Structure 1
């Protein structure tokens, strides 16, 4: 089969490798669509993991084979698969901090080499604990491209749940790339008034289309003033920081009221540093928190929101590439143009 093999910093090569063999309790997925995620882009751009690996974790496809003992799925079923599932028994799972579970950190899907998601290949092997709890069937009439959004929608859904945002609050979403727009959609679905920011006019227009009250250019417009104007002078109640840029967290704090919550979602680099006043957190009783990865408790609901079309994620797909052109997709996702949003790889295309 063909696979996009990560060979080191900024190096991905299309190679012919064996189709993975599966064992008892496992399934083999013929991958039809896999979204490009910025966490994978960072791993490739900065060489964060030892090669070789095959990335890609927003995976949708067909069951091509089932291992001994598998009864929940049959050959031909259309499915999406999460690459992480927690043990549900440890200290962190008891506190619903699933992304900190040691079992969760063990990737359960591979197309070969060290398990790393495997969606950037024609076939991927799904290990038993993922088959048992991390695979959802795709209903008839739902495209593989649409279905591939279940995992990223789950991560945003988790961030919103953790924030405690409620109807009557004013939310801000900083950044309107694919993830920021998913936040905007989910907040609109909950009836939350939202102001968004992005430097690209086309993304601000999309933000308004998906329900934002206002979409501002953070380099040209006064976000704190807009937030205060919408809240009788107080400032925003909740902020979701869905982009990574110098000063963006400080901007979030300036736009919020005392007691507000700021959710860091895009700050995944170990090298990123944030310079803020301690008094802005302590004296003003703000909550600065992180939200990372998916929540197994929200898996079924996230799938329902995507499959039903209640969250119109399919509209975010602007480009699809066959696997041999994945480098073009990676470059476009890393350096988006005025029109690009979600990039999806289709491994079965020639």
Structure 2
């Protein structure tokens, strides 16, 4: 049993062990399921028993590129139950079902004043850990949530009737909603979303809510079938059709007013630029690794196309994003339908392998520590 100090509370029904299993990143492409201590918490902190954690593309990039030092425990799309509270925690109780943001901005610095929250120095600090250097920690049985995350709005209660799996989408939906708001779409516009993995479908579905006409491009017909569940019916088969030509045909020859690149890799940036009309916007969503890309500067200068990016979440739309996910579970935005695979923690390596090599049969991959197969 973990030691409990006098100013902490634990759920009587939840016996917290001294150790737990966690998927520990040890080196490039080296993740091991190990037994490590359950994190201790301090004043103002929470201990959450993880129920569900989605595997994000940024987790995979860190694992495969070695961009972060080891050891670490990744996973940041986390939902679970509060099983222990530190002193001075007043807004949460044992047994509360919550999802957790691993980044929260200070709200006061220059970047926060300019609403560029992801560039805030405090935001760049990770406030959730299962051990080692804080890195999200969702790929573990328990995760510690640090004081500024708890006190500054980074822990969101899950309403009754909403499953943990749906709630785990609150963070990625926030990032997608931020991107759509950055584009400032109008109902008379045409939007092209390149890539129909889980993120691409969420981006497209949110774009459609603005009233704009949304075109979706992907290599897999199976993904287009899933997109249709969310009302996305203007498909482009990228394996058989010319995406740029279709975008122009569907926009009276102009090209898309806005293009969202929802897949990693820089080769499609030129395609996205070519598919945008003169004066249109191209948004990079998945380009989270530094590198070089070929861009026609005349397209930006003479054709007045705008190239912009959107990264991570925004505290300004946190309530709107959470409500969208929670209300959407029973009102046409059930995101659990994007989940193709669910694995117990012991099968994390298999989960990472599937998430790293997308196929027609794979979409969102979840790790659920208490899942029994």
Residue by residue, what CA displacement relative to the aligned partner does 1:31-50 show, whole Å, maximum 9, x if unpaired?
00000001000100111111
> C-alpha separation between the residues in 1 aligned to 2:352 and 2:82?
26
The answer on whether the counterparts of 1:85 and 1:296 sit within 8 Å (CA) in structure 2 is yes
Q: How many residue pairs end up in the alignment?
A: 349
> C-alpha separation between the residues in 1 aligned to 2:28 and 2:248?
44
Which 5+ residue runs of structure 2 have no aligned equivalent?
Answer: 1-19
Q: In the alignment, does 2:358 pair up with 1:336?
A: yes
Which shows bigger deviation, 338-347 or 237-246?
237-246
1:304 to 313, 316, 323: 323
Structure 2 equivalent of residue 110 of structure 1: 129
SS for the counterpart of 2:92 is coil
Q: In the alignment, does 2:114 pair up with 1:95?
A: yes
Which 5+ residue runs of structure 1 have no aligned equivalent?
Answer: none
The answer on whether the counterparts of 1:322 and 1:347 sit within 8 Å (CA) in structure 2 is yes
SS for the counterpart of 1:17 is strand
TM-score (norm 1): 0.97
The answer on whether the counterparts of 2:266 and 2:287 sit within 8 Å (CA) in structure 1 is no
Post-superposition offset of 1:124 = 0.5
1:292 to 265, 287, 311: 311
> C-alpha separation between the residues in 1 aligned to 2:99 and 2:351?
21
The answer on whether the counterparts of 1:188 and 1:210 sit within 8 Å (CA) in structure 2 is no
The answer on whether the counterparts of 2:265 and 2:287 sit within 8 Å (CA) in structure 1 is no
SS for the counterpart of 1:50 is coil
> C-alpha separation between the residues in 2 aligned to 1:77 and 1:209?
31
Residue by residue, what CA displacement relative to the aligned partner does 1:75-96 show, whole Å, maximum 9, x if unpaired?
0000000000001111111101
Which shows bigger deviation, 41-50 or 73-82?
41-50
Structure 2 equivalent of residue 325 of structure 1: 347
2:289 to 269, 272, 282: 269
> C-alpha separation between the residues in 1 aligned to 2:190 and 2:271?
16
Post-superposition offset of 1:212 = 2.4
> C-alpha separation between the residues in 2 aligned to 1:19 and 1:347?
14
Cα RMSD of the aligned pairs, angstroms, is: 1.2
Q: In the alignment, does 2:168 pair up with 1:148?
A: yes
2:53 to 13, 25, 34: 34
Structure 1 equivalent of residue 196 of structure 2: 176
Post-superposition offset of 1:109 = 0.4
> C-alpha separation between the residues in 1 aligned to 2:212 and 2:361?
27
